[in-house]
Amino acid sequence: MSLSQAITDLLWDALQRAFSPAPLTRDCLEVTLSTQVQFGHYQCNSAMRLAKVLNQSPRNIAERWLNALAENALIAKVEIAGPGFINIWLHTDAVTALLTMMTIGDHFGSPTANAPRIVIDFSSPNIAKQMHVGHLRSTIIGDCLARIFEHLNFDVLRLNHIGDWGTAFGMLIAYLKQHQPEVLNGQQHTDLSHLVSWYRAAKKCFDEDSDFKQIAQQEVVALQRGDPSSLHAWAIICAISKENYQEIYTLLDIRVTDRGESFYNPLLADTVSDLTAKGLVTLSDGAKCIFLDGFSNRDGEPLPLMIQKSDGGYNYASTDMAAVKHRIEVEHATRILYLTDVGQAQHFAMIFKTAELAGYLQRDDITVRLDHVPFGLVLGPDGKKFKTRSGETEALIDLIHAAIHEADRLLQERGLDLSAEELHHTAHVLGINAIKYADLSNNRIHDYTFSYERMLRFDGNTAAFLMYAYVRINSLKRRANIDSGLYLAAPLQLLQPAELELGLHLLRFEEVLQQISRDLLPNRLCEYLFNLAEKFNAFFRDCRVEGVSEQNARLHLCDITARILKTGMELLGLKVIDKM
Ligand code: ARG
């Protein structure tokens, strides 16, 4: 149970006693962290809200309420401030005891039997195209949420819904057959950047040359029919693209299972029949459409979700409907997250509504929860959508290497006492941590501005600041040169205000993760860790560790701090280093 829950329990108990039989519910009660030290450790402003229900002044309510508060070991002092704010101080002994009992889960443990299944659909680039910064955001945020749910003992299925099917493949295959047969027969190895330019050339031929257009269209048909030579060409194109994505995943330490759109091909016809049988489908100009209340286009006309085109072909929405069904019926998902930019919000709203109407979300006695987890754009220094000088969206791999390069330069400038090899390793970790942290520390809904200079700063809410705090704790432990068994056995003592503050903050870790499992905002964890590093620095400033009688108790507190900091950073997908 979290600290704020425990406090809420006590207050709720008192509230009922003070005002029964008034019809009150527990959710009228809210306990939050105090915004300033002089307002205690926690505060409760619910007397304001209760004033209407109870028809009394908030101050009177607060007085009567607190008089009914039972003796307990947790709350040391309460105070009514202003019109009826309640400030709460906790017993140091209680905080110390809770901290002593706190266990820090290890997040890579495999889920226990019966752990609820959550599907996280993230990254999901498109074959024969470069992964762009939008996919980078999806990858970083999706991986972080996956790590957090794993830590919370969910059975996480990480799915890469790669765009690996569609009419565009006809063009590319036709072009490669004509112009690059060595690539298709395996005589010549190539990479994604070549594919991208051939794709462009193919598109040009398609638009300008009606013969080519016809051949390309026949290729689509052949591919759909499962013609071996077309399928082979398709597989080669996919393999080349995936090599490129894999390079990025390896660099960023991302695990994800490829399950592209093509996986659902065999399920599409049945899905469309099922939706039709359920009376959801309307024919509109020959296309099979689902009209949903509340969805309209810019002109206010009803906007349908098209699940089969008039030529019988399927599209993005058909695949997503089949995927929801499969993930629930076959994968037994109890929750599904989709990470894409906010531009796809309407698409997912329509997919989710259709799934609900089709009854897909009811399985056994649960209702499956679907969440679109949208995020904003990545902006360049000019405040416009992030592009490189050439106007092309920058290849991601270059972006990541540039961050590592910048990190290397900055570390050299700082003249640290590191060997060449250590410096290289540190720059690598710092560069990648910085990219991830810059993304995660912003509320994902907002656009964020990409800046190497800002993301690599050592001060403020940055990756380097957290890494440095971790290094500092470790060097403190090293310097003390005491066997860890010894200080870990020392009873914790939270004597100074800075120690109590740090202890209180450490206790909140799991609470923050629980909150993220509800609102899916990783920036909460960044903020938590930033505050943790600050509180540790305050402790380090105010409390001497080495050579004092509290030494071992303080080393013990440092150790817990280091463990939470490391676990938290790992949940963000960051790596820690021991020296910096
Ligand atoms: N490939 C898509 C894109 O790049 C993202 C796919 C997201 N997932 C899904 N199930 N639709 O925009």
- Residue 134 CA, closest ligand 1 atom number: 4
Query: How big is the chain by its Cα radius of gyration, in Å?
Result: 28
pLDDT tens digits in sequence order for the chain, 580 residues long: 789 999 999 999 999 999 999 889 999 999 998 888 899 999 999 999 999 999 999 999 999 999 999 999 999 999 999 999 999 999 999 999 999 988 765 545 678 888 999 999 999 999 999 898 999 999 999 999 999 999 999 999 999 999 999 888 999 999 999 999 999 988 999 999 999 999 999 999 999 999 999 999 999 999 989 999 999 999 999 999 999 999 999 999 999 999 999 999 999 999 999 999 999 999 999 999 999 999 998 899 999 999 999 999 999 999 999 999 999 999 999 999 999 999 999 999 999 999 999 999 999 899 999 999 999 999 988 888 886 555 455 578 889 999 999 999 999 999 888 999 999 999 999 999 999 999 999 999 999 999 999 999 999 999 999 999 999 999 999 999 999 999 999 999 999 999 999 999 999 999 999 999 999 999 999 999 999 999 999 999 999 999 999 999 999 999 999 999 999 999 999 999 988 8
CA dist 11 and 30 (Å) reads 10
- Residue 320 CA, closest ligand 1 atom number: 10
The reply to whether 303 falls in a domain is: no
Which residue, judged by its Cα, is nearest atom 8 of ligand 1?
A: 161
Domain boundary among the residues 90, 114, 146 is at: 90
The reply to whether 175 falls in a domain is: no
Write out pLDDT tens, residues 41-58: 999 999 999 999 999 999
Which residues have C-beta within 8 Å of that of residue 519, sequence separation ≥ 6?
A: none
Domain boundary among the residues 90, 124, 158 is at: 90
Write out pLDDT tens, residues 47-93: 999 999 999 999 999 999 999 999 999 999 999 999 999 999 999 99
| CB crowding 206-222: b at 16 or more within 10 Å, else e | beeeeebbebbeebbeb
Question: Are the CB atoms for 42 and 36 separated by under 8 Å?
Answer: no
- Residue 339 CA, closest ligand 1 atom number: 7
The H or E element containing residue 35 is: none
Strand, helix or coil at 284? strand
Counted domains in the chain:
2
Q: What is the CATH number of the domain that holds 484?
A: 1.10.730.10
The reply to whether 160 falls in a domain is: no
The reply to whether 194 falls in a domain is: no
CA dist 562 and 576 (Å) reads 10
The reply to whether 110 falls in a domain is: no
Which residue, judged by its Cα, is nearest atom 11 of ligand 1?
A: 320
- Residue 340 CA, closest ligand 1 atom number: 7
The reply to whether 42 falls in a domain is: yes
User: What domain range is 58 assigned to?
Assistant: 3-90
State how far the alpha carbon of 217 is from the alpha carbons of 127, 208, 210, 487, in Å.
Answer: 19, 14, 10, 72
CA dist 364 and 125 (Å) reads 34
- Residue 344 CA, closest ligand 1 atom number: 12
List all residues whose CB is within 6 A of at least one atom of ligand 1.
121, 124, 126, 161, 163, 320, 323, 338, 340
Whole-prediction pTM value? 0.94
Question: Are the CB atoms for 498 and 538 separated by under 8 Å?
Answer: yes
Could you tell which of 238, 338, 344, 348 is best to mutate to test the pocket of ligand 1, judged by most ligand atoms within 8 Å of the CB? 344
Q: Which of 245, 223, 221, 577 is nearest to 425 (CA)?
A: 577
Q: What is the CATH number of the domain that holds 47?
A: 3.30.1360.70
φ, ψ of residue 295 to 5 degrees: the values are: -115, 120
The H or E element containing residue 270 is: helix 265-277
Could you tell which of 132, 331, 340 is best to mutate to test the pocket of ligand 1, judged by most ligand atoms within 8 Å of the CB? 340
The reply to whether 126 falls in a domain is: no
Is the link from the previous residue into 522 a cis peptide, with omega within 30 of 0?
no
- Residue 323 CA, closest ligand 1 atom number: 10
The reply to whether 511 falls in a domain is: yes
Domain boundary among the residues 90, 112, 129 is at: 90
Could you tell which of 161, 165, 256, 348 is best to mutate to test the pocket of ligand 1, judged by most ligand atoms within 8 Å of the CB? 161
Question: Are the CB atoms for 440 and 144 separated by under 8 Å?
Answer: yes
Write out pLDDT tens, residues 420-479: 999 999 999 999 999 999 999 999 999 999 999 999 999 999 999 999 999 999 999 999
The H or E element containing residue 84 is: none
Which residue, judged by its Cα, is nearest atom 9 of ligand 1?
A: 161
Which residue, judged by its Cα, is nearest atom 4 of ligand 1?
A: 125
| Cα 147 to middle of ligand 1, angstroms | 21
